[in-house]
Amino acid sequence: MPPWPKLTPALLALALSACSHLGQADELSAPLTSVNYTDWPFDLVAVAKPETPTKIMAAEGVDAFGASGMMCCVTLPRQWRPGMELVVRIKDGTRAKSYQEWDMEKLPIIQHRVPVPPYTPKDMGTVWVQLLPGGKVVLVVSRYDPDHPSWPGEVKGWPLPTLEFRQKIWDRDMSLLQKSLARFETAIKKSSGQDAVEYQEAIDSVKRRMQFLGSRP
């Protein structure tokens, strides 16, 4: 249950427009995007300045082996300086199965001080946070995506789910579909008229989804 909403295209356009106007004359602003190369989601990936680590500039949630949307805005000095850092605050994805469990879970926020690699004003397209296995966090400032030939980061390309992860997701989704199918097939035996028609439609829909899911990876 990530607490950070995704931006619609209209809101995203407004946010990016606002980014280009934020900051002082000696500052540049850019949206934040998180890219997760691990098999666990994060409910929070937030960026702050080292001098004010609890004052979040931008934050998002990100799925396992996925990328977040674009959240405005991270400000950086117009000119890069050696030794520059940002604070990246991260919280694991929830394991809760209800809002009550989620409220009581109290997952810790882990704080990383991450070096900001060299950049120029023309690079300020996006501030990228790459979440890597082993708890490693990397920052990249670039107007290119990770799979672009001009991507300056050491870790290139988008995340690729492992076979184990794909099998886990397939097992989860197929189990949910099988439970739904069994429930509808039980219900249709006790139904008639329009109710039976609707249950049959539900059964057909679940079977189509199971067929689309195919065999286990």
Average pLDDT value for the chain: 86
Decide if 185 is inside a domain: yes
Residue-level pLDDT at 27? 87
> pLDDT band at 146, cuts 50/70/90?
very high
Q: Mean pLDDT over residues 206-215, rounded? A: 92
Asked if residue 194 has pLDDT above 60, the reply is yes
Range of the domain at 26: 9-159
Q: What is the C-alpha to C-alpha distance for residues 179 and 185, in angstroms, rounded to an integer?
A: 10
Decide if 27 is inside a domain: yes
pTM: 0.75
Residue 158 phi/psi, 5-degree rounding, is -85, 160
C-beta separation of 54 from 39 below 8 A = no
Give 34-79 pLDDT, tens digit per residue: 999 999 999 999 999 999 999 999 999 999 999 998 998 999 999 9
User: Do 119 and 36 sit in the same domain of this protein?
Assistant: yes
> What DSSP state is assigned to residue 182?
H
Q: Ranked by mean pLDDT, which of 3-7, 24-28, 42-46 comes out on top?
A: 42-46
User: Do 14 and 30 sit in the same domain of this protein?
Assistant: yes
Domain boundary among 159, 177, 197: 159
Q: Where are the beta strands (DSSP E) in 10-153?
A: 27-36, 42-49, 52-62, 71-77, 85-92, 109-115, 126-132, 136-142
Share of the chain above pLDDT 90, in %: 72
Q: Mean pLDDT over residues 162-186, rounded? A: 93
Decide if 110 is inside a domain: yes
Q: Ranked by mean pLDDT, which of 70-74, 83-87, 123-127, 164-168 comes out on top?
A: 83-87
User: Do 199 and 112 sit in the same domain of this protein?
Assistant: no
Asked if residue 170 has pLDDT above 80, the reply is yes
Residue 128 phi/psi, 5-degree rounding, is -100, 135
Residue 42, Cβ neighbours under 10 Å: how many?
25
Q: If you search the block for the tokens 């909403």, which residue do you land on?
A: 5
Domain boundary among 133, 159, 185: 159
User: Do 25 and 127 sit in the same domain of this protein?
Assistant: yes
Asked if residue 161 has pLDDT above 90, the reply is yes
Give 83-104 pLDDT, tens digit per residue: 999 999 999 877 666 677 666 7
User: Do 25 and 74 sit in the same domain of this protein?
Assistant: yes
Q: Which residues contact 95 (CB under 8 A, 6 or more apart)?
A: 105
CA atoms within 13 A on the CB side of 203: 14
User: Do 41 and 146 sit in the same domain of this protein?
Assistant: yes
User: Do 16 and 115 sit in the same domain of this protein?
Assistant: yes
Asked if residue 13 has pLDDT above 90, the reply is no
Decide if 189 is inside a domain: yes
Structural domain total, the chain: 2
Residue-level pLDDT at 204? 94
Residue-level pLDDT at 24? 59
Decide if 73 is inside a domain: yes
Q: What is the C-alpha to C-alpha distance for residues 167 and 171, in angstroms, rounded to an integer?
A: 6
Decide if 112 is inside a domain: yes
User: Do 185 and 122 sit in the same domain of this protein?
Assistant: no
User: Do 105 and 186 sit in the same domain of this protein?
Assistant: no
User: Do 115 and 41 sit in the same domain of this protein?
Assistant: yes
Residue 41, Cβ neighbours under 10 Å: how many?
16
Asked if residue 197 has pLDDT above 80, the reply is yes
Decide if 3 is inside a domain: no
Decide if 48 is inside a domain: yes
User: Do 66 and 134 sit in the same domain of this protein?
Assistant: yes
Q: Mean pLDDT over residues 169-187, rounded? A: 94
User: Do 124 and 173 sit in the same domain of this protein?
Assistant: no
> What DSSP state is assigned to residue 5?
P
